[in-house]
Amino acid sequence: MSYVQIIHAFSKFSRQCRFLIEFHTAAKGDWVDAAKQEFESVQKALEAIK
């Protein structure tokens, strides 16, 4: 992954978090799990370019 892709992933992740926090219509645990998975995928991408 390039730096551009990582920046894009982070911005997508933060937008999703804001959306989910503002409109948490699903069970609270569901969006927490989704955010955690997204964060872990971004972390893996960061480790891949080190």
Per the structure, the count of domains in the chain is: 1
Distance of alpha carbon 18 from alpha carbon 30, whole angstroms:
15
Helices and strands, counts by H and E, the chain = 2, 0
pLDDT tens for 3-43 read 888 888 888 888 877 777 666 655 566 667 777 788 888 88
**CA-to-CA distance for 23 and 41, rounded, in angstroms?**
23
Domain holding 17, by residue range, is 3-48
What is the per-residue pLDDT for 31?
66
pLDDT digits (tens, 9 = 90+) for 35-44: 778 888 888 8
